Structure 1
Amino acid sequence: MASSSEGRPSYHPPRRDQPGRPPRDGNGRLRPTGTPSKWEGGRQCYGVYVYPNSFFRYEGEWKGGKKHGWGKLLFRDGGYYEGEFVDGEITGEGRRHWALTGNTYTGQFVLGEPQGHGIMLYKAGGYYEGELSGGAREGQGRLVDADGQVYCGSFHDNRRHGRGWMLFRNGDEYDGDWVQDRRQGRGVLSCADGSIYEGQWHSDVFSGLGSLAHCSGVVYRGMWVNGHPMAQATRMVILGPEVLDVAQGASLTLTVQLQQADGEVAKGEDGRVLKVSAGVRRVQLPAYSEVIFFKVDEGGRETPIQTPFGFQCLSFPLSSPQSGGLEPRAALGSADADSPPAEADPMRRAEQGTRVFC
């Protein structure tokens, strides 16, 4: 072999190899690798070979007429592989780019397929980092899609399968079992609004025994079918008299029962919101009384929270008058003919149907 000290490829006369077959040790344009041979009894050379079908072009190291060592295999469509070859096969560490999809993989290969550990970058956005087998996601890995959703856990046949955790684009998080890319088995869903479901799943929905603690305060514990409670309450019943006389400042106790459509008590559910109608009755008070009647605090109205059972939760508290409101003595008087007309009496307005949610 000619010296390469001048920086130009050396020349070898053409071998009498069979047409269409690769050279034994780099036939074509050849030059020494510049490093000692790694193999005893053989030589490592650099060569360029264009395959008979003209779709493949190889540039790299050869041994015994096979691609062996480090090289680059180029495809006519613009794709390529660059990395290690063993006995003519793509095996070892390398980088593969697919022109058709625009995806690029960097990592371990076995017989031309991504296998072992590596990183796949997707043209559409996102990436996968983890274990692969036969070119598919298999084993433990991390998948980030184009929308920023993240899955960390087990894969089988390119799908989420086994135990895994996922962060969805809306901020919800799921930690539990997966079957063929669907939540199935047992898992915990922590929603961005604070609601939490813990229990069984089937085909990506609540199914089986589970518990939902909704951000509105509603809690349901029991069986679920296709994402819905199997025996949810349909009405609330106040046990006791319908009208209660309560003195200002005195405590009030209500006994409320959740019932199903058949009248049975809904034992697995609590936290529903009770709507209360509050009214103020005019009474004659002694002149020395300092009673302050409560009023509806309309400035504290909040945005309604939609519950999972089709109604809204709205906080509408009662409070004492603030500074600048009615003076204590303004409530004094009698119920005789000298009383102010109803439209000028704030207590009378309250009697006409102020509704309070708590």
Structure 2
Amino acid sequence: METQKPKLTRTPSSLLRSPTLRSSTHSLSSLTSSTLKSPTLKRPEREFHKGSCNGSGVYNFFAKGRYEGDWVDGKYDGYGIESWAKGSRYRGQYRNGLRHGFGVYKFFNGDSYAGEWVSGHSHGSGVQSCADGSCYVGEFKGAIKHGLGYYHFRNGDRYAGEYFGDKIHGFGVYHFANGHCYEGSWHEGRRQGFGTYTFRNGEMRSGEWDCGVLKNPLSPSNHSIQRSVQAARKAAENAVLAPRVDEQVNRAVSAANRAATAARVAAIKAVQNRMDGKFCHTDV
């Protein structure tokens, strides 16, 4: 009876990395089409403070994109909503012009990421859901799966354990949809080191694996096998029981919705002021 190979998936780099936020780093002169309002100023019709966009505002930028939310010193900072012509949309926190904190990014193809962001990349705990039905819940580092995680594949396979550099790597447990299971050590997505493969009929194959192939059969009671299996089960348990950040994400999305509403109100007032002959005032 032959063992099965696990299904390998790699997160597209475009899925979790932050697209360039050109609009958030433009100079004051290139933001003259923005409609901004600073609540910190005594005159509410003012849109800029000391030469920079501050407060709430709406900005329509390249590729028919749009940002609605908070600004600090000419950059996205606080909470907001960013959307693009094809249908992609982000709602959540920003810092210094980049997605930073908690937020949800929904892509036009149906994929999504909800979780922590650092300097424009998914980083920390999060949930990656794909349109094909697959889903990863766990840790990310620099926009790729890294740390402990749980992956449910579209074909019904399930893996729980350690990831490194977007690949199954370390210790973990892989359940195949047909009932087979492997518990043990992994290296770059392949069975490597000590582990046990259990068939659905109860038959077991234990030993030392190399590139997914059993090279040195050993008894399941072998000390190295038992230690590796225990480490795999522990990693799988920690991955499944890892704390979620759903509540923090939901709060960030709610705050982003409120910030976007305030930005649209500020934009309408700014347009009305211009129609009444009250143009933007800039403090220098």
TM-score (norm 2): 0.62
Superposition pairs of residues 292-331 of structure 1, within 5 angstroms = none
Q: Which residue of 2 aligns with 1:146?
A: 131
Aligned-pair CA distance for 1:134: 1.8
Number of residue-to-residue matches in the alignment: 194
2:78 aligned with 1:92: yes
Change (3 A) 1:69 1:227: same
Q: Which has the larger radius of gyration?
A: 1
The question of whether the paired residues in 1 share the 8 Å contact of 2:128 and 2:135 is answered with yes
* 1:172 shift after superposition: 1.0
Residue 203 in structure 1 maps to residue 188 in structure 2: yes
Distance 1:96 1:143, change over 3 A: same
User: Whole-Å Cα distance in 2 between the matches of residues 96 and 29 of structure 1?
Assistant: 15
Query: Structure 2 CA distance, aligned partners of 1:73 and 1:164?
Result: 37
Query: In the aligned structure 2, how far is the partner of 1:188 from the partner of 1:135?
Result: 32
Q: Which residue of 2 aligns with 1:68?
A: 54
The one-letter amino acid of 1:134's match is S
Q: Could you tell me how far 1:267 is from its partner in structure 2?
A: 4.2
Separation (CA, whole Å) in 2 of partners of 1:182 and 1:143? 15
- Aligned-partner residue type, residue 68 of structure 2: E
Asked if the contact 1:44–1:63 (Cα under 8 Å) also holds between the matched residues in 2, the reply is: no
1:155 alignment counterpart: 140
Equivalent AA in structure 2 for residue 81 of structure 1: Y
Equivalent residue letter for 1:200: S
Unaligned runs of 5+ in 2: 1-27, 222-284
**Which amino acid in structure 2 is aligned with residue 95 of structure 1?**
I
Higher relative contact order (CA 8 A, sep 6+): 2
| 2:64 partner SS | coil
Q: Give the counterpart letter for 1:167 in structure 2.
A: H
1:205 CA drift (Å): 1.1
Question: C-alpha separation between the residues in 2 aligned to 1:102 and 1:29?
Answer: 23
The residue number in structure 2 matching 1:43 is 42
Deviations along 1:280-311, one digit per CA (max 9) or x if unpaired, are: xxxxxxxxxxxxxxxxxxxxxxxxxxxxxxxx
Q: What SS class does the counterpart of residue 231 from structure 1 fall into?
A: strand
Sequence identity (%):
34
Instruction: Report the Cα distance in structure 1 between the residues aligned to 2:118 and 2:78, rounded to whole angstroms.
Output: 14
SS at match of 1:43: coil
* SS of structure 2 residue aligned to 1:77: helix
More helix by share: 2
Q: Do the aligned partners of residues 20 and 119 (structure 1) sit closer, same or farther apart at CA in structure 2, a change above 3 Å counting? A: closer
**2:44 partner amino acid:** C
Equivalent residue letter for 1:160: K
- For the residue of structure 2 that corresponds to 1:138, the secondary structure is strand
- Shift in Å, 1:145: 1.1
After TM superposition, the structure 1 = structure 2 runs for residues 156-305 of structure 1, keeping only pairs within 5 Å, are 156-232=141-217, 267-268=219-220
C-alpha separation between the residues in 1 aligned to 2:204 and 2:183?
12
Which residue type is aligned with residue 42 of structure 2?
A: R
CA contact (8 A) 1:82 1:95 kept: yes
TM-score for the superposition, normalised by structure 1 = 0.50
Cα distance in 2 for residues equivalent to 1:104 and 1:38: 26
Shift of 1:43: 2.6
Asked if the contact 1:186–1:201 (Cα under 8 Å) also holds between the matched residues in 2, the reply is: yes
Contact persistence 1:132–1:139 (CA under 8 A): yes
Contact kept in structure 2, 1:177 and 1:185, CA below 8 Å: yes
Structure 2 vs 1, CA of residues 66 and 219 (structure 1 numbering), >3 Å: closer, same or farther? Answer: same
Query: Match for 1:132 among 117, 121, 127?
Result: 117
1:89 is displaced (CA, Å) by 1.7
Q: Give unmatched runs, 5+ long, in structure 1.
A: 1-18, 48-60, 233-265, 270-358
The equivalent residue for 1:106 is 91
- The correspondence for 1:78, drawn from 64, 72, 76, is 64
* 2-structure distance, mates of 1:193, 1:216: 11
- What one-letter code is carried by the residue in structure 2 that aligns with 1:170? N
> What CA distance in whole angstroms lies between the structure 2 residues aligned with 1:154 and 1:203?
17
CA distance in 1, matches of 2:202, 2:29: 76
Q: Is the 8 A contact 2:35 2:57 kept in 1?
A: no
| Pairwise CA distance, 1:146 | 1.8
Separation in structure 1 between the aligned mates of residue 190 and residue 62 of structure 2, nearest angstrom:
47
* 1:121 paired to 2:103: no
